[in-house]
Amino acid sequence: MKNLDEDALALVARYFGALSVPMRLKILSQLREGERNVGEITAATGCTQANVSKHLAVLAQNGLVAKTQRGTSAYYRFADESVYRLCELVCDQLDRRFAEEAERHRGFGEAARAAVGRAITG
């Protein structure tokens, strides 16, 4: 990223911004199962049709989903499968971080119990 100019950095930030809303990730998760129309996505996510449409528009503007029109229904699918790898990388990183934090806290609890025990027995 060190060679990117301001415009390119803004595009990268906008791309990540499209992924920064939990409902959009939920929608992308639904599309991982295959093509869906807005009604199917609405039913699966519990979100309103207007809200799903708004999120799909942002995802489409950033090249994450593609739309196919069939009669009166629009069907959405994943346009960039590499995003799943990106999401898996992020989830793996978070998993490692949480495991490390849990290990540190576990050590803290043991150290605190030992300190309290020493203080009591004096």
Tell me the per-residue pLDDT of 75-112, one tens digit each, with 9 for 90 and over. 999 998 888 888 889 989 988 998 888 877 776 667 66
Do 64 and 88 fall into the same domain? no
Residue 122 has pLDDT above 60, yes or no: no
pLDDT of residue 24: 96
Q: How is the beta sheet containing 36-37 ordered, strand by strand?
A: 36-37, 73-78, 65-70
Do 69 and 90 fall into the same domain? no
Do 36 and 69 fall into the same domain? yes
Do 122 and 92 fall into the same domain? yes
Reported pTM: 0.77
Do 94 and 75 fall into the same domain? no
Do 68 and 112 fall into the same domain? no
What is the three-class DSSP state of 34? coil
Do 14 and 63 fall into the same domain? yes
Do 73 and 20 fall into the same domain? yes
Do 111 and 101 fall into the same domain? yes
Do 71 and 85 fall into the same domain? no
Do 4 and 62 fall into the same domain? yes
Place of tokens 């069907």: 75
Pairing between β-strand 36-37 and β-strand 65-70 as defined by DSSP bridges: unpaired
Residue 122 belongs to domain spanning: 81-122
Do 18 and 64 fall into the same domain? yes
What is the three-class DSSP state of 14? helix
Q: Residue 65: phi, psi to the nearest 5?
A: -130, 155
Structural domains counted in the chain: 2
